[in-house]
Amino acid sequence: MPSITLPDGSQRHYSQPLSVAQVAADIGPGLAKAALAGRLDGQLVDTSALINKDASLSLITARNPEGLELLRHSCAHLLAMAVKQLYPSAQVTIGPVIDDGFFYDFAFERSFTPDDLERIETRMQELAVADLPVSRRELPRDQAITYFEELGEHYKAALIRDIPQGEVLSLYRQGDFEDLCRGPHIPRTGHLLAFKLTKVAGAYWRGDARNAALQRIYGTCWATPKELKAYLTRLVEAGKRDHRKLGAQLDLFHFDDCAPGSVFWHPKGWTLFQQLINYMRQQQDAAGYVEVNTPDVMDRSLWETSGHWFNYREAMFTTSTEDERVFALKPMNCPGAVALYARGLKSYRDLPLRMAEFGKVHRYEPSGALHGLLRVRHFTQDDAHIFCTTAQMEQECADTIALVFAIYRDFGFEQVAVKLSTRPANRIGSDATWDQLEGALSGALQGMAIDYQLNPGEGAFYGPKLEFVLRDAIGRDWQCGTLQVDLNLPERFAIDYVNEQGERERPVMLHRALFGSLERFTGILIEQYSGLFPLWLAPQQAAVLTISAGQNDYARRVLTALKRAGLRASLDLRNEKIGYKIREATLQKVPYLLVIGEQEKAEGHVTLRSRAGDNLGSLSLAELVERLGEEARMPGLEPPC
């Protein structure tokens, strides 16, 4: 006779066991129709799950984030079902949920075409309209292997063989299709109202290029057709803003197979990159940081002490020397920062010590995961490591959080979400230490009245962390900055300071990156601004364009004046029509075009045009320099007296 406690604290009492779906129906027909799953005593379960004892229950609908994930998970199964019906010889492998959608990998004898995708999507729509019930059953591991082998699903059987002996597995069936899955799933296919297949790409079995090649079909799924339409509109806009396309158009960077996952910066791209570094240097200097630099290659023993060798080894590039010493290209900057701190005796008067580094790091990312500037193997982090006392820890966290928000505002990111990731299963340090560190981060956020999302178990192996997620101009989210608090590395490296009582004490170590990867942040900014950078950040701020050769000498004087004022300008003296020159500079998204003809030369003026095509009038050279210089001032920089 279970008693069910609902999220509002109310209770419902029943004379016999019943399912989650029956509880929803008892509450009301609308909820019965909308319920996708339930959270029973904290665990997500199918609506068919039986409740036979007192329990707490919340019902999951498409309005919940978990509900949207369930829709996408179930849509991946719908995709696999449609493929199997249309192409029976295709084998299914894995089909997880990803940001904004899902994918499923298939082994098939030929490449899927756009026509195939259209056909598959049509079949998916038919299966959704059929409103097929989704049911769950369990099978012992060995029976499940036999079952899928007999179906000819050898990849699925191989996945099950990796599961320990004695495990009982769950399978989900809809119509004539059954798939291995932990679940839960939506109760009927009719809940899938808004989905779209987006593309097909290559993949490898288990993500390893040495294994069989597969085909990955991507799709997106939303709670309502309106949300789907809005997403597809964003997708079109994102295509226009793609940083890889704009990077080529604006001559910023390129990639080459001779250095996979590493950026070749062109002059204009490197100028943009350096502007970001200059901006961050200015911010860090004002916040009391000192800048340092540590070696790119360090001995294996350092990484063993830090714990990276045992927790991060598969992502590290290593080498050995003739004397059999093993070295690693650093995947992180923190052990080098500890080695710097350890040099010389530190007093409590030296703390907090805020050491910033634009450190090059190297991580082996799978080739299939590489994606322009957003996912690379060799990149620069705007790292900083703050060494402080326990009493200073929460305030240093709060100051860092405030700096993060101020910096993101300067780039136009007004919506910033914060996620607090707590202790993972694979970690170093005691629970008492983790309690203290997690408390410092949550305390700083609460003291600043900042809402945050809790991500249990998602922290780094050495400490909890905050992640800062930006929402860009077209509504996409990007995880960029991080802040981690750490008492474990100071303990492992045995670093200390002399406290006020003259005793040795361990410092707290804060790991902080604000842009994160500068390469990735640059890619995000290219898409945020659609290449239309604000004047202070633009690689080229002005183009001086002559109408005829008679103005060349005066145009050179204009260029010299601009450069002396610290402005980045170019000179176009080509024997081309002025309309052609204006069009080329506009396509390069140069913020200001300075047109010079005979009248401008005679008056000592220029005609100023914006890249949007607006005529901003005639200005003297002094007025021009003052106007552009004022607008080009870096955010946060105080104007000169």
Q: What is the per-residue pLDDT for 99? A: 83
pLDDT in tens, 602-623: 999 999 999 999 999 999 999 9
Rounded to whole angstroms, the Cα distance separating 192 from 174 reads 13
Smallest CA-to-CA distance from 365 within 396, 398, 331, 341 is with 331
pLDDT in tens, 327-337: 999 999 999 99
User: Hey, do 65-240 and 542-631 end up sharing a CATH topology, with the first three levels equal?
Assistant: no
Q: What is the per-residue pLDDT for 164? A: 87
pLDDT greater than 80 at residue 368: no
Ordered DSSP codes for 93-158 = ----EETTEEEEEEE-SS---HHHHHHHHHHHHHHHHTT-BEEEEEEEHHHHHHHHHHTT-HHHHH
- Name the amino acid, one letter, at 461: F
Q: Which CATH number fits domain 65-240: 3.30.980.10, 3.40.50.2300, 3.90.1150.10, 1.25.40.10?
A: 3.30.980.10
**Considering only 202-211, 347-356, 573-582, which range has the smallest mean pLDDT?**
202-211
pLDDT greater than 90 at residue 352: yes
For the segment 527-549, the average pLDDT, to the nearest whole number, is 97
Q: Any idea which residues carry the catalytic annotation?
A: 334, 363, 381, 383, 385, 465, 511
Q: Is residue 334 marked as binding?
A: yes
pLDDT greater than 60 at residue 108: yes
Q: Which helix (H) or strand (E) holds 432?
A: helix 431-447
Enumerate the domain spans of the chain: 3-60, 65-240, 253-529, 542-631
| Confidence category of residue 3, pLDDT binned at 50, 70, 90 | very high
Q: CATH top-level class for 542-631?
A: alpha beta
Global model pTM greater than 0.85: no
pLDDT in tens, 50-70: 999 999 999 999 988 899 999
| Confidence category of residue 119, pLDDT binned at 50, 70, 90 | very high
Q: Which has more pLDDT, 370 or 468?
A: 468
Tokens found for residue 636: 């946060």
554, 575 contact by CB (below 8 A): no
Rounded to whole angstroms, the Cα distance separating 374 from 521 reads 8
For the segment 24-51, the average pLDDT, to the nearest whole number, is 93
Tokens found for residue 168: 């009982």
Smallest CA-to-CA distance from 271 within 521, 636, 538 is with 538
Smallest CA-to-CA distance from 104 within 139, 64, 155, 67 is with 155
Rounded to whole angstroms, the Cα distance separating 484 from 477 reads 21
Q: Which among 310-314, 504-508, 636-640 has the top mean pLDDT?
A: 504-508
- The arrangement of secondary structure in 3-60, i.e. its CATH architecture, is Roll (3.10)
- pLDDT > 90 in the chain, percent: 83
Q: What is the per-residue pLDDT for 343? A: 94
- Give the number of C-alpha atoms closer than 13 A to the C-alpha of residue 188, restricted to the C-beta side: 13
pLDDT in tens, 526-536: 999 999 999 99
Rounded to whole angstroms, the Cα distance separating 324 from 603 reads 73
Q: Is residue 77 marked as binding?
A: no
Looking only at Cα atoms, what is the longest distance across the chain?
98
123, 86 contact by CB (below 8 A): yes
Tokens found for residue 32: 């019965």
| Confidence category of residue 427, pLDDT binned at 50, 70, 90 | confident
Q: What is the per-residue pLDDT for 312? A: 80
| Confidence category of residue 197, pLDDT binned at 50, 70, 90 | very high
pLDDT greater than 90 at residue 520: yes
Q: Is residue 371 marked as binding?
A: no
Strands 11-13, 3-5: pairing kind? antiparallel
Q: Which CATH number fits domain 253-529: 3.10.129.10, 3.40.50.360, 3.30.930.10, 3.30.70.260?
A: 3.30.930.10
144, 180 contact by CB (below 8 A): yes
Q: Calculate the CA 559 to chain-centre distance.
A: 40
Q: What is the per-residue pLDDT for 170? A: 94
pLDDT greater than 50 at residue 641: no
pLDDT in tens, 204-219: 898 887 899 999 999 9
